[in-house]
Amino acid sequence: MSPDARGTCAAAASYEKRLRTFVLVVLAVFGALSVAPRVSFWITVTLLAYTSVGYPLLLFVVSALRQTSERPASLEPTVSVLIAAHNEEGSIEQTVRNTLNLDYPKDKLEVVVVSDGSTDRTEAILENVSDVRVHWLRTSGHRGKTEAQNQAVKSCRGEIVVFSDATTVYDRNAIRCLVRHYNDPQVGAVSGRYEYLPPDLANPAVLGTAVFWRYENVLKTLQSRAGTLTGSSGCIYSVRRSLYVPLPPQSCSDMVEPLAVIRQGYRVVFERNALAYEKTCRSLREEFRMRVRVTAHGIDSILANTDLLNVFRHGWIAWQLISHKILRWMTPVFLLNLLVMSAALVAQPPFRVLLFGQVLFYGASALLAAAPRRGRWRVLGLPFQFCALHAAVVVGVSELIAGKVYTTWHPVRN
């Protein structure tokens, strides 16, 4: 067997071992919680409360106590905006033009587009872009976004590489807002934030998604003030080119690349004024499949970086990953246990009321799933988003166990 083949087999065996360990931990937690109904119920409530409310409050306290001094200043390093595209003929030209027109010195900005096995007119459109600041390359075959980025970074000449998406539109000052943080030599990566365009809040799927991501942006702000982010926004984040680490193709780059920067001793910060705009998924089905893919990608990425979960070695970084990632992914287990324990204690009036409340909550979500496009149901977008988010975790874990790996992607367009 060749060295490469042995390495591939070893990596696969290691991955399967990590995945089995994750599943066994989930089952062990569920089993442990099911021993004494009343104790189990309150432990579960505590864990759910910490995950959704306690952790943000902890971030707020820590950020107030150890707020990291930020030194944003007027800074104009050379910048490469890297756009990975697969069959994006409908949006690539607009995205490239938008990037070229950003408020940044023309002689310090380049746009690098990597066509990841596009079979439509994407490459023909790029050929017709005459601006000398635009460079494009193609990968051999459809290799996935992360591998496409690995290849394209080699062609970037900027001191800072900004990762964008082919459908993303940046605010005019986005680049300036991102790069000013690199005045601090301890900052290795900077994430911006994104909003949805158009904000069609009459669509329940859009309403729930928009609220969820605004909540996420609050957490990112607090994480940044408390020390460092442990992830970034996939369509608008930047890295010092000298710190970029090539990633395995199946990695979720906007999660793992920041962790690679942190491993090198640098901070990752959040700049809320660096804005990007993305279109939301128009259907609940599209939204759900996107959440499944993101969840599976994220779990897979954490499984490849389990050493960072050691709180004795990595302290605050590990605690953030456990609180914001692991416990959130465990939430479906907690919710199921809460429902089961409420049913087990239904003879007691308080638990009977709580059981009824849970059934009503899940029923409201099911009602929206049955009538997803009716504007009068949009208020149900919030419980539906909550349920869909955690159902996506269950499906994502199931797909990982079945051996499905999300390496390549196919754009969904309305």
- Concatenating the DSSP letter of every residue in 270-282 gives EEEEEEEEEPPPS
Residue 7: per-residue pLDDT:
37
User: Quick one: which of 411, 168, 201, 186 has its CA closest to 274?
Assistant: 168
Q: What one-character-per-residue DSSP string does 40-58 give?
A: HHHHHHHHHHIIIIIHHHH
Averages of pLDDT over runs of 10 residues in the chain (414 residues) are: 37 54 64 73 92 95 79 83 93 94 96 94 92 93 90 96 94 95 95 76 60 85 92 93 92 91 95 87 68 82 87 94 92 90 90 93 79 57 78 84 65 48
How far apart are the C-alpha atoms of 393 and 35, rounded to whole Å? 24
Domains annotated for the chain, with CATH where assigned, are 3-64+310-401 (no CATH), 79-281 (3.90.550.10)
Q: What backbone torsions phi and psi does residue 46 show, to the nearest 5 degrees?
A: -60, -45
- CA distances in angstroms from 89 to 121, 125, 126, 169, listed in the order given: 5, 7, 9, 15
Residue 196: per-residue pLDDT:
74
How far apart are the C-alpha atoms of 33 and 336, rounded to whole Å? 11
Look at the alpha carbons of 42, 43, 46, 48 in this order and tell me if their dihedral is positive or negative.
negative
Q: What backbone torsions phi and psi does residue 296 show, to the nearest 5 degrees?
A: -60, -40
pTM of the predicted structure, to 2 decimals:
0.84
How far apart are the C-alpha atoms of 45 and 231, rounded to whole Å? 27
Residue 215: per-residue pLDDT:
86
- CA distances in angstroms from 355 to 120, 226, 349, listed in the order given: 52, 38, 10
Look at the alpha carbons of 231, 79, 173, 100 in this order and tell me if their dihedral is positive or negative.
negative
Radius of gyration for the alpha carbons in the chain, expressed in angstroms and rounded: 22
Q: Provide the 8-state DSSP code for 1.
A: -
Question: In sequence order, which residues have a C-beta less than 8 Å from that of residue 407 and are 6 or more positions away?
Answer: 143, 144, 146, 147, 249, 250
Q: Provide the 8-state DSSP code for 377.
A: G
Residue 282: per-residue pLDDT:
54
Residue 4: per-residue pLDDT:
35
Pairing of β 187-196 and β 237-240: antiparallel
Residue 97: per-residue pLDDT:
94
Residue 302: per-residue pLDDT:
86
